[in-house]
Each structure stands twice: as C-alpha cells, then as structure tokens.
C-alpha cells in the first residue's frame, strides 16, 4: 500500500506560480513512476507530468516550459511547480503512483486526495 497526501494549491491569479506537494508513505517513491494528473469540471482526468525511477521526465505539451515535476527522495515527496498559470490550468490536481508508467489513468494504482488550483483571470 502507498498513501499519498497532497498539499499546496489554492486561489491564484493568472501568471502566478504555485507548488503542489505529494508526500508518500508506505513505499519509497524513487522506486516507482510518479505522475501528476488534473481534472477540470466536466472533463476527464488528464495526464500532466511524470518522473521515472531514473529521473526521466515527461510533460503534456500544454504545460511544457511552465510546469516542473521534481522528486525529493529524502522527504519521499514529489512536487509540481506551476509557473505562468493560465485560467485553463484550473482543475483539481492529483498525484499518483505507477509501476508501468504512461499517460493513462489506468496505469496508475494509487492516488492522492486531490488539491484544487483555481486561476482567476
């Protein structure tokens, strides 16, 4: 079992930055692929970014150059730094753990509780 507890997020203005944290317990995150997803109202949950065990990183095109995923193995925590936020980034953000990777929801087995990011224009 892996427990993921998220923090961060909130209400920000367009152009602002915010950092999301995802603290894991039960397993060492550096042994797994960690991903971030988001879900806007009325839309399906979509992939945002992932970091593999070896540190390879992949982003969805819409956040490239603005978002940064990182991992602190000592804290067993993964982060999502979001800069230059846009109204279309507004969503509930989720961290998740995968053994196989990829960009689909089904590939991820454990999920954080979600954290709201609201971007005002």
The Cα angle at residue 46 between residues 41 and 50, in degrees rounded to 5: 140
Query: Which residues are CB-contacts of 102 (< 8 A; sequence separation ≥ 6)?
Result: none
Give the model confidence (pLDDT) of 18-41 as tens digits.
999 999 998 898 999 999 999 999
Give the model confidence (pLDDT) of 64-77 as tens digits.
999 999 999 999 99
Is 101 a residue whose pLDDT tops 90? no
Taking the C-alpha atoms of residue 121 and residue 111, their distance in angstroms, rounded to an integer, is: 29
Is 103 a residue whose pLDDT tops 90? yes
- At 105 the three-state DSSP class reads helix
């Amino acid at each position: 079992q892996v427990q993921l507890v998220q923090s961060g997020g909130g209400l920000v203005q367009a152009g602002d930055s915010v950092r999301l944290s995802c603290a894991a317990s039960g397993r060492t995150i550096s042994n797994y692929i960690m991903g971030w997803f988001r879900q806007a109202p009325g839309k399906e949950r979509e992939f945002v970014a992932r970091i593999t065990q070896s540190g390879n990183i992949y982003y969805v095109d819409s956040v490239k150059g603005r978002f940064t995923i990182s991992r602190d193995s000592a804290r067993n925590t993964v982060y999502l730094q979001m800069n230059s936020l846009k109204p279309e980034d507004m969503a509930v953000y989720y961290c998740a753990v995968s053994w196989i990777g990829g960009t689909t929801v089904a590939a991820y087995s454990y999920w954080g509780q979600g954290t709201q990011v609201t971007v005002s224009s």
